[in-house]
Chains A and B, each alone.
Chain A
Amino acid sequence: MRHLRPLSVTLTALAMSLGLLLGAGAQAEELVKYQIVGGESIDKSLTGQPGDPVNGRKLAINRKLGNCLACHVLPIPEQAFHGNVGPDLSEAGGNLSEGEIRLRVVDSKVLNPDTIMPAFYRNDGFERVMKKFQGKTMLSAQQVEDVVAYIMTLKGN
C-alpha cells in the first residue's frame, strides 16, 4: 500500500490539473449566471468580488478590450480622441446605480434592442463571428466589474 501512495498522489494531481485545463476551456463557453432585477439592473457582482477602478480606467482606454472611448466621452484627458456615438459618461456614476451600469456593460440590448452598443459579456447569438472570437466575450467577468467600478467613480464635478 505504501508504494502506491505516491502513485495515487500523482494520479490525483494529474486529475486536478486535467480538471483545471478542462475548466479553463469551459470558462470561455460558460458564462457566470446573473440575474436582471426588474428588467433594469444586475445588482450583484458577476464575480462576487469588487471591481478595480484603476484597471477599469485602463480597460476603457484599451482599443482591444473595453474601448469605451470609441463611443463615449470620459474624463481621460491624456487620450486625445473620444467618440460621440454614445452618451457622455462623465457623470454616469452619479446618474445611474451600479446595477444599472453593470447591465449596460453586460448587455445593453436588454434595455434597448436597437442600440449600437455591443454586449461586453455575451458570447452567443451572433452572426458570423471571426473564428478567433467565437464563443468568447469581449470582457471577462472581472473586467466587467473593473469597468463598472471605474464608471461608478465618475460623479462629475
Chain B
Amino acid sequence: MRWRPIAVVLGFGLFIGAYGAVLAQGDGKMAKYFVGDLRTGYTFATPETQAIQDDDFANPAFLWVDYAVELWEDPSGDAGKACSDCHGAAEDTMKGVGARYPVYNAELGKPINLEQRINKCRVDNMQAKAWKYESRELLGMTAYVKSQSRGMPVQVQIDGPMAPFYEKGKAFYFQRRGQLDMACANCHEGNAGNMIRANLLSQGQSNGFPLYRLKWQKLGSLHRRFRGCNKQVRAAPYGYGSDEYVNLELFVANRGMGLPVETPGVRM
C-alpha cells in the first residue's frame, strides 16, 4: 500500500509510453513494423540505427550478404554443384522460404532452422562440409536466403508434428533460469519498452535475424542472441543449433507471427 504514489507515477509513465507507441504507430513509415500488439525491434531502435537498416548500402550486413551472392554461384563439395545449379536464382526460388522457418524435417523427426537446412543441403546434396555456426559463410547465406522474404509475414507451422516442439519452446520461454532466476518472458513480455539501465527492452522478436548488431560489430544469428541473453541472467547457455534453441526459435517466430521479415536487420 505504501507504494501507491510510486504505482501512480509508474502508471502515468506507462500511459505516456503507450501514447508514444500509438503516435509512432500512426506514422506512415513505421506502420509496417506494427502488427496488432506486435512491434519489431526496429520500432525500439534509435532513428540513427533505423536509418542504417533503411539503406542497403549503409547496412553493414550486406558485406555478408554480398559474399553469399558469390557463394550461391560457386560449386562446392564432391558433387561439384553450386546452390544455383538446383535452385536457380535465389530471388525467385527462395522467396518466402525464410519466413516459414523452422520447418519440420521428416527424416530427422524434428524441426530444423534455416542454418540447418542450408547445411543439410551442403552435406546431403553437395557432398560438402557443413559450415560452422557464426561463420561468415553460414551467416551470409542464411541472411541472403531469408532476405528474399523481406516484407513477407512470418508464418511458421506449429500444429501436427510441430506441436510437441512448439510446446517445448514455449516451456523454455517461460522457464526462469540462471542465478538471476529470470525467464525470457520476464523481460520481453512484461517489460518491453522499459529500460534495464541504458538498454531498452524490446519484445524480443526474431524477424530481423540474422542481423547486424552494432555492439557485435558483426552479423549474428538468433542463437547467438539467445546465448547472450542466457548468459546475462547467469544461466549456462545451450549450443548453437541445439534442439532447445531450435524449439525456442519456433516459439519465438510464432509469437511474432505476421511481422514482416526484416533480414538483415540492424540493432544496437
Contact = CB atoms under 8 A, between A and B. Distances in A.
Contact of B179 (A67, A84, A133): A133
A109 B246 CA distance: 31
Contact of B178 (A109, A128, A136): A128
A71 interface: yes
A19 interface: no
B177 A128 contact: yes
Interface string B157-188: 00000000000000000011111111000110
A70 B196 contact: yes
Interface residues of A, number: 28
A104 to B, nearest CB: 11
A84 to B, nearest CB: 5
**Mostly helix, strand, loop or mixed at chain A's interface?**
loop
B236 A130 contact: yes
Contacts of B201: 85
B197 A130 contact: no
A119 interface: yes
A36 interface: no
A82 B197 contact: yes
A89 to B, nearest CB: 9
Interface string B186-209: 110011001111100100000000
B136 interface: no
Contacts of A133: 178-179, 234
A95 B2 contact: yes
B201 to A, nearest CB: 8
Contacts of B187: 116
B214 to A, nearest CB: 17
Interface string B225-260: 000000100111000000000000000000000000
A82 B178 CA distance: 23
Contact of A85 (B2, B175, B177, B195): B195
B6 interface: yes
A95 B5 CA distance: 10
A116 B182 contact: yes
Interface string A56-71: 0000000100010111
A78 interface: no
B182 A118 contact: yes
Contact of B198 (A67, A80, A136): A80
Given A95-B3, A116-B187, A87 B10 contact: yes
B179 A138 contact: yes
A130 B179 contact: yes
A56 B148 CA distance: 53
B199 to A, nearest CB: 8
* Interface-centre pick from A81, A88, A126, A133 (highest chain B CB count, 10 A): A126
Contacts of A80: 198
A95 B9 CA distance: 15
B88 interface: no
B176 A127 contact: yes
B236 A131 contact: yes
B198 A126 contact: no
A95 B190 CA distance: 25
B80 interface: no
Interface in A80-103: 80-85, 87-88, 95-96
Given A81-B198, A84-B195, A118-B179, A130 B6 contact: no
B13 interface: yes
A85 B235 contact: no
Given A67-B197, A133-B179, 6 more contacts: A71-B196, A84-B194, A118-B179, A128-B236, A130-B235, A133-B234
9 contacts: A81-B198, A85-B194, A88-B10, A118-B179, A126-B179, A128-B177, A129-B236, A130-B234, A138-B180
Leading 6 A-B pairs by shortest Cβ distance:
A81-B198, A127-B177, A116-B186, A133-B179, A118-B180, A87-B6
